[in-house]
Amino acid sequence: MIACLRLFTALCLAALLAACASSPSSSLGELPRTPDASIEQLLEQAAQSKDPEKAALLRLSAADLAYRQGNAGQSAQILQQVPVEQLKPGQQVFASTLAAELAMVRNQPKAALTALSHPSLQRLSELPVEQQVRTGTVHARALEADGQTLAAARERIFIAPMLEGEAASKNHEAIWTLIASLPTDQLQPTTTDDLGGWMALALAVKTAGTLEQQQAAIDAWRAQNPKHPAAIQLPLPLTKLKELASQPLSKIALLLPQDGPLASVGKALREGFMAAHYQAQQAGQKPPAIEFYDSSKLTSMDEFYRKAQADGVQLVVGPLEKPLVKQLSARPQLPITTLALNYSEGEQGPAQLFQFGLAAEDEAREVSRRARADGLHRAAIMVPKGEWGDRVMRAFSQDWQANGGSIVATERVDQPVQLAQQIADMFQLRQSEGRAKSLQSTVGSQVAAQPSRRQDIEFIFLAATPQQAQQIKPTLNFQYAGDVPVYATSHVFSASGDVNQYNDMNGIRFCETPWLLDANDPLRKQVTAQWPQAAGSLGRLYAMGVDAYRLAPRLGQLKALPDSRIEGQSGSLGMTQNQRVVRQLPWAQFTNGQVQRLPDTPR
């Protein structure tokens, strides 16, 4: 009876090992398969095995099973017990791949890439296709998460021929998403292979302007590359572009307030919007008809949408009022695609809602980007007291720290009489004066000492009105901090042409709309000739109106083509995943009473 049990146990162990391993290879070693046994059974058999290689293989199989079952913690614990360096090359590839997958679960792409740099990976091409695909997939994911977009696309292109069905389709779309997210200057195909073809397609689409031009570019590319995977199966976003091109926009509703506290804002937006419309007409285009609606007289958004639908409206531009935008963002869906001219507080709205505005948060993030591009690392912050200042500071801080910058001091500006003390505190000048007095009392005689400021502040991020900035910059000079660069949002610029005011802010760098920095733009010249106020600070609203018009027919493009941009009058416009239009802005500096445009930096 005992002999029978021993024989049965031996047969079970043999079957278990057969289920755990593929056909043996003398040089690469056996690879684990998904076993019929449980994790506990595999670990028990490993503990009982007298063959170290079989025990390692069983543990490797148990670690893989735990990962597949969603228990990454247990998988990592088991994998630590596997002596990877004692395994054969194929098994080392398997273990390294699993280690990379576990690192990605922890959101550690660099650790994943380290795991995939094991020397055994040089023999990956000798392993079964399933293993090549698994390793290649996690490698692509890690490269993408690490910001190595082109390398990630190259990895996915490599594994594409090995895939079938849904996996092949997902990989195909992922390749396009990666390639389409590359900036235009990186889309310079130097080869005629699949990667070169993908890059040429993305470049053709991004450099075409209108939907019609994009469609023509896609058709021309397909004719030149009929055997390319993207020509055989056009990526879904480009298929959507084709649908958009076949449904031209013929009627827009412009929903803005004509009365009340926002009437002047609505007027500037409307005049900018219509200026762009008339420019399109003059250029020989066939622009959509514009229907005007007064949001200040609205009693119900539902009633408005019913009327707009009855009027044949295909797109709504507006509303401007924040409560109305908030109301729309809370709805599950909208009857007509809508480009709101403000932002709601929530992150995600219905699929039909797009949001665009002159958000101060965009400018705070632009300051973070510019200071980073200029090689700076340590910031001090000066913002006004109150909710607006808190929002701007939060946007700057989050972007700055997420990209490796540090914040060494913060001051909230309120009363002008406190400004000198606040700046002295920020730069720790009083401590310096205290040390001088202490030294004087010790030596018993007068000590000539100029207060010294702290040296760890590389620049100041400033969000302030022109009047506040006029006080802050001279005070910095007086407090021995005049050499510290100041990077500001556009709020410091009144566009008044007041030389005395500009002189008080000498040296301050600020981001601003292209509209206010380029007086020679033809459309700006036309608009300011008719509405002189558009040359001043109201010009930002005129610029936003122009851009709202230019965005209207291209919302689908921005959504379908990640990281594509429209060079607008309020900034370089892109779109986030939650369908918010965000701006990047050019830069200028106050120099001897003049506004001097600064060279752009790489983005």
Average pLDDT for the chain: 87
Q: In this prediction, what percent of the chain has a pLDDT beyond 70?
A: 89
CA distance 601 to 32: 51
Per residue in 81-94, pLDDT (tens digit) is 999 888 889 999 99
Structure tokens at 203: 């470049």
Residues linked to residue 339 through DSSP beta bridges, in sequence order: 317, 354
Assign 189 a pLDDT band (cuts: 50, 70, 90): confident
Written as one string, the DSSP assignment of 118-176 is -GGGGGGGGS-HHHHHHHHHHHHHHHHHTT-HHHHHHHHHHHGGG--HHHHHHHHHHHH
Assign 416 a pLDDT band (cuts: 50, 70, 90): low
Structure tokens at 33: 């398969």
Q: Which residue has the higher pLDDT, 201 or 602?
A: 201
Q: Is the pLDDT of residue 439 over 60?
A: no
Per residue in 296-350, pLDDT (tens digit) is 999 899 999 999 999 999 999 999 999 999 999 999 999 999 999 999 987 678 9
Least confident of 46-55, 124-133, 156-165, 352-361: 46-55
The pLDDT score that the predictor gives to residue 17 is 40
Which residues, including other chains, have CB under 8 Å from residue 197's CB and lie 6 or more apart? Answer: 189, 225, 228, 230, 231
Mean pLDDT of 272-286: 91
Mean pLDDT of 561-573: 83
pTM of full prediction above 0.75: no
Strand order in the sheet with 566-567: 566-567, 572-575, 581-584
Using an 8 Å Cβ cutoff, are 355 and 333 in contact?
no
Per residue in 499-534, pLDDT (tens digit) is 999 999 999 999 999 999 998 999 999 999 999 999
The pLDDT score that the predictor gives to residue 433 is 44
Mean pLDDT of 56-63: 92
Domains within the chain, CATH numbers bracketed: 2-147 (1.25.40.10), 251-355 (3.40.50.2300), 361-512+589-597 (3.40.50.2300)
Which residues, including other chains, have CB under 8 Å from residue 408's CB and lie 6 or more apart? Answer: 378, 379, 380, 454, 456, 457
Structure tokens at 500: 């005395």
The pLDDT score that the predictor gives to residue 85 is 86
Mean pLDDT of 173-193: 85
Q: In this prediction, what percent of the chain has a pLDDT beyond 90?
A: 66
Mean pLDDT of 229-236: 94
Assign 12 a pLDDT band (cuts: 50, 70, 90): very low
The pLDDT score that the predictor gives to residue 75 is 93
Q: Is the pLDDT of residue 26 over 60?
A: no
CA 538 to chain centre: 29
Phi, psi of 461 (to 5 degrees): -90, 120
